[in-house]
Amino acid sequence: MKKFIYIALASSVAAFANAEIPAWHPPTKGEVRSPCPGINVLANHDILPRSGKNLERQVVVDALSKWYNIDVAISTGLFEMAVNFSGHAGASSFDMVDIWIHHNATVNAIEGDASFSTVWKQTRSFWQGKTIDVQEFGNAAQARYLTSNATNPTFYFPDVQNIGAAMAFMTSVLGDPVAGTVPTRFVDDWIVNERLPARLGWSTNEKLTDLATLGDLGAKNSGKFFHAGGHF
């Protein structure tokens, strides 16, 4: 469950009326980012601290609520999880760079980028249309699973099992939370540029993202992958 929510955050997005969105720019020297695009995007807009440091509970919960329309209980859980991953359980804030899970910051600063480009190239190749649907998310997830299993000696199955949750989260805040579809251009802008795709037509979803919506979409997405491999 913890991992479910964590990975879900890695794939979320949303915004408000364009005029209200604080100016975007990518991190500059000394500013740190996390493995989660969801919060990196907000830092790039100065909605969370641009420095990526000292993210306080209330600031994080408010930001996730206002910009992503995520239920407060989930936002609070996400904050606590991040604090736990940072190795300072119980702290009132965390630094983005501390929540890389598998290695330390030095290693991830390099490996994170390299693996991201590889992973993204493969994932993106499954999305050729203007809209991504649950089957296309499933196809990408299945490919990631098979590749990880074949090439990563420390591959741990639950990491990928949670892709359904990640897709559900991204869909809930970026696209249509019932149909499970998302405009491809929103995903590109959010993942690649780590930017709120408001100028491309996105705005904060009016429907709250909570456990019920995530559960429905997660089930929908999970049902679309591994249908052939039989691992689920």
Ligand X SMILES: *[C@@H]1O[C@H](CO)[C@@H](O)[C@H](O)[C@H]1NC(C)=O
Q: How far is the CB of 165 from ligand X (least distance, A)?
A: 15
Closest CB to ligand X among residues 141, 198: 141
List the beta bridge partners of residue 93: 56
Q: How many positions of this chain bind ligand X (CB under 6 A)?
A: 13
| Residues 107-126 within binding reach of ligand X (CB under 6 A) | 107
Contacting residues for 207 by C-beta, under 8 A, at least 6 apart:
69, 172, 177, 213
| Residue at token pair 């090439």 | 151
| Residue number of the CB atom closest to ligand X | 157
Contacts for 71-79: CB closer than 8 Å, 24+ residues apart: 71/208, 71/209, 71/210, 71/211, 73/210, 73/211, 74/5, 74/209, 74/210, 74/211, 74/214, 77/5, 78/5, 78/6, 78/9
| Contact in structure between 141 and 163 (CB atoms under 8 Å) | yes
Q: What is the dihedral of CA 100, 6, 38, 203, to 10 degrees?
A: 180
Smallest distance, Å, CB 90 to ligand X? Answer: 7
Binding mask 66-105 for ligand X (x = CB under 6 A): -----------x--xx--x----x--------------x-
2 binds ligand X (CB under 6 A): yes
Is the Cβ of residue 57 or residue 124 nearer to ligand X in the bound state? 57
Q: How many Cα atoms within 13 Å fall on the side-chain side of residue 115?
A: 13
**Cβ distance to ligand X smaller for residue 98 or 136:** 98
Kindly tell me which of 53 and 185 has the beta carbon lying closer to ligand X. Answer: 53
Return d(Cα 197, Cα 184) in angstroms, integer.
Answer: 11
Pick from 58, 117, 231, 232 the residue near ligand X by CB under 6 A: 231
**Rounded distance between C-alpha atoms, residue 28 and residue 91, angstroms:** 26
CB closer to ligand X, 71 vs 133: 71
Report, in Å, the least distance between residue 153 CB and ligand X. Answer: 11
Closest by Cα among 87, 100, 83, 119 to 34 = 100
| Per-residue binder mask for ligand X (CB under 6 A), 150-189, x = binder | -----x-x--------------------------------
Least distance (Å) from ligand X to the CB of residue 211?
Answer: 14
Could you list the residues that contact ligand X (CB under 6 A)?
2, 77, 80-81, 84, 89, 104, 106-107, 149, 155, 157, 231
